[in-house]
Structure 1
Amino acid sequence: MLRVGFRDANATRYLSAVGLVLLLWDHIITIGDEVQLIWSARPSFAKYAFLANRYVVAITLILISYRTLRCSSTQKRHLMLVPDMNHYISGIERPIRCRRAFSASSLIGITSVGTAHALVLLRVITLWDRNRTAMILMSTGFAVSFTATFTTMIVALTNLIPGVQFNSIVHMCVSTSRSKALIAVWSSPLAFEVLVLMSTCWNAFDRPRESHTPLTKALYSDGITFFIVGHLFSLRLLNLILAIVAPPSLTVLGVFFVWAMTTLVLNRSLLRIQKVEYVRRDGPILDGGSSPFGLLQVSDYDIELDEDGEYKTWHR
């Protein structure tokens, strides 16, 4: 039984490490675009939400991976991935600190999901040219989804926390229990993502006359790629399946990997949209529908890009 627990812990540990490496590599190669396109944008909710989500997720995953990989190097493994608190906790305080760490990482994750969905919501509203009906529908979907996700996570934590203990054999915080509420935790954001996918496709078919513009093409392409490839058929669905069928030692097998990958794809998509909107730093502020980050406005302009997404010409 202990051997199985070690094997499952290693699977979780190294899959999480793969996600972190990919996220950090993408961060490195896109840092120039971030500085040029995001930091120079006007102050807005979207700007600060993007930056907070981009850095908080990376820092959190670094801390988690540091603890778990450090534990692996000394052959100290655990049954459910929670940051190693061994060097900071002693005596009777260990179970309390373990439960706090488990709760904190869970709530940070849910907040990150909500932030990502809020940014996606702004993009979809822009895609619909701030259509009132679309705004009401998507905003309601977001509110219901996030409320359900947060509420069911609290229920799940209430069920899981009593089973979170410090295991002196593997020198880790472990969880030996499951909660069916986790199924709802992963189903709620998935439902919102299906709504966004349907909205994006509906807009694409309903307004084909505008599909020639670079910004609209980018929104369609990134939206469909993000929700089909990134969520519906691989990432978020993986968490849902594991919550249904996996033993406690594999319940979080894909959690941190999925967290890293969804953050990566979201960052890429938003930077690409912003890059399409950014003509040049010394150019005028353009007219038309505003960017999600409030940097430039481009809908009344025809922007021509080269094969690498760089700007060749722009004009009325």
Structure 2
Amino acid sequence: MQESAAIAISKSNIAALAFLFWDMLINLSDEIEYMWRARNTWVKWAYLYIRHFPIFGIASMVILNTGVGIAGRFTPRQCIGWLVVQGCILLSVVLLVDAILILRIYVLFARNRALLVTLVIAFVIEASSTIICSALAVPRMTLGSKCLILKAPRVYTGNWLASMGMQTILFILTCYRFYTSVDRRLGTRSILHILIRDGIWAYAFIFVAALTNVLLLRLQQSVISGICFPWAIVAFSFAGSHLQLNVVKELVHPSIPSNILTSTEMELGTIGNANAPL
């Protein structure tokens, strides 16, 4: 049973890696033009991290969990360490995506400091909850061969719920800004339209990936409960990178005349890109 589960998880890891690598390749020309040549800001480097680091992270999972059987020779303590590494890969991507989304919300709401403080507090709560839940849960997990999770304590779902809650807050704020702004009448390609369009599918992708992991951990409680873990990394990497790239592409080569771009839209363009309209 554990051998067949290990094979299924390995296939899931390979599929996740192939999806991210394929998406990176087909968007590489846009990435070079709009992101690699952008000015050096933390947002640019955050984008590059979100886009490329998960590929190496999932590749390491493939190497350790495929037929070579490296994880099968791990001691229980080494398995715990490997779970911590996987958790850190996901957490780093999640927090960077959230930080960029918070920055976008801050600009969209005309640099409202009260809102920024509130979101930063929510961000800290999310990060703290995830770290605490993981720290409490990982040592209490029941592990099988090849570091497969046989049973996870209930507290482990807290890190997923924290992320789902934060994403929901950011999505609601984006929708609110869209439906209360006159900019939504500028046309189907205004920046706010792009934000809400991408925000809907990105939120759905991330939410479904997180919810699937929660349900597998709580309801399945079997050796395949971690089969969708790499897809949570994929969801944040794919959504976070495309949300940023699509906005920058529109601002560098707008489909609406630059003279009717709002100050908010132009300000968004200066974040992480040296070629955005000023």
- Give the TM-score range, shorter chain: 0.7 to 0.9
Q: The residue matched to 2:67 in structure 1 has which SS?
A: helix
**What is residue 247 of structure 2 aligned with on the other side?**
273
In the other structure, the counterpart of 2:80 is 99
Could you list the per-position Cα deviations for residues 6-34 of structure 1 after superposition, in whole angstroms to 9, with x for gaps in the alignment? Answer: 34333322223222211110000111111
Counterpart of 1:187 (choices 140, 143, 161) is 161
**Other structure's SS at 1:265 match:** helix
Query: How much has 1:271 moved relative to structure 2?
Result: 0.9
- Counterpart contact for 2:16–2:58, Cα < 8 Å: no
Specify whether residues 159 and 43 from structure 1 end up closer, same or farther in structure 2 by C-alpha distance, changes over 3 A only. same
**Using the alignment, how far apart are the partners of 1:148 and 1:295 within structure 2?**
36
The answer to whether the 8 A contact 1:127-1:219 is kept is: no
Structure 1 position 295 matched with structure 2 position 271: no
Q: Which residue of 1 aligns with 2:22?
A: 25
What is the RMSD of the two structures over their aligned residues, measured on CA atoms?
2.5
* TM-score normalised by L of structure 1: 0.76
Query: Could you tell me how far 1:199 is from its partner in structure 2?
Result: 0.5
1:307 corresponding residue in structure 2: none
The answer on whether the counterparts of 1:238 and 1:254 sit within 8 Å (CA) in structure 2 is yes
SS in 2 for 1:289: helix
Q: Which has the higher contact order (CA 8 A, sep 6+)?
A: 2
Amino acid at match of 1:19: A
Write the distance in 1 (CA, Å) between the matches of 2:235 and 2:147.
25
Cα separation, partners in 2 of 1:129 and 1:220, compared to 1, 3 Å:
farther
Matched, 1:244 2:222: no
Report the alpha carbon displacement of residue 53 of structure 1 after superposing the two structures with TM. 2.4
Find the aligned partners of 2:172 and 2:130 in 1 and give their Cα distance. 20
How far has the Cα of 1:297 moved from its partner?
4.6
Give unmatched runs, 5+ long, in structure 1: 77-82, 281-285, 301-316
In structure 2, what is the Cα distance between the partners aligned to 1:187 and 1:36?
36
Judged with a 3 Å threshold, the aligned counterparts in structure 2 of structure 1 residues 258 and 219 are, in CA distance, closer, same or farther, namely same
More divergent stretch after superposition (44-53 vs 184-193): 44-53
| Residue 231 of structure 1: aligned partner | 206
SS at match of 1:249: coil
Inter-partner Cα distance in structure 2 for 1:219 and 1:107:
28
Matched, 1:38 2:13: no
Deviation at 1:164, TM superposition (A): 4.2
CA contact (8 A) 2:149 2:225 kept: no
Distance of 2:183 and 2:35 partners within structure 1: 30
In the TM superposition, residue 129 of structure 1 has moved relative to its aligned partner by: 3.0
Change (3 A) 1:225 1:212: farther
In structure 2, the partner of 1:138 is 119
- TM-superposed CA distance for 1:124, in Å, is 2.1
Distance 1:290 1:178 in 2: 42
Larger proportion of helix: 2
Choose from 5, 8, 18 the match for 1:8.
Answer: 5
CA distance in 2, matches of 1:107, 1:180: 20
Question: 1:9-158 maps to which residues of 2 (within 5 A)?
Answer: 9-71=6-68, 84=71, 86=73, 94-158=75-139
In 2, Cα distance between equivalents of 1:128 and 1:178 = 40
Q: In the superposition, relative to structure 1, how do residues 220 and 175 fare at CA in structure 2: closer, same or farther (>3 Å)?
A: closer
- 1:42–1:294: 8 Å Cα contact kept in structure 2? yes
When structure 1 is superposed on structure 2, of 286-295 and 6-15 the one drifting more is: 286-295
1:207 deviation in Å? 0.9
| Aligned residue type for 2:274 | L
SS in 1 for 2:147: strand
Q: Which runs of 5 or more structure 2 residues have no equivalent in the other structure?
A: 255-260
Task: Indicate conservation of the 8 Å contact 1:200/1:224, yes or no.
Answer: no
Q: Return 217-226 or 138-147, whichever deviates more.
A: 138-147
Is the CA contact 1:17–1:65 (under 8 Å) kept in the aligned structure 2? yes
User: Does the 8 Å contact 1:19/1:258 carry over to 2?
Assistant: no
Of 140-149 and 186-195, deviating more is 140-149
Is 1:129–1:289's contact at 8 Å kept on the other side of the alignment? no
The Cα shift of 1:153 comes to: 1.4
Question: Which residue pairs with 1:314 in the alignment?
Answer: none
Partner-residue secondary structure (3-state), 2:206: helix
The normalised TM-score by structure 2 is 0.85
Aligned to 1:312: none
Name the residue aligned to 1:310. Answer: none
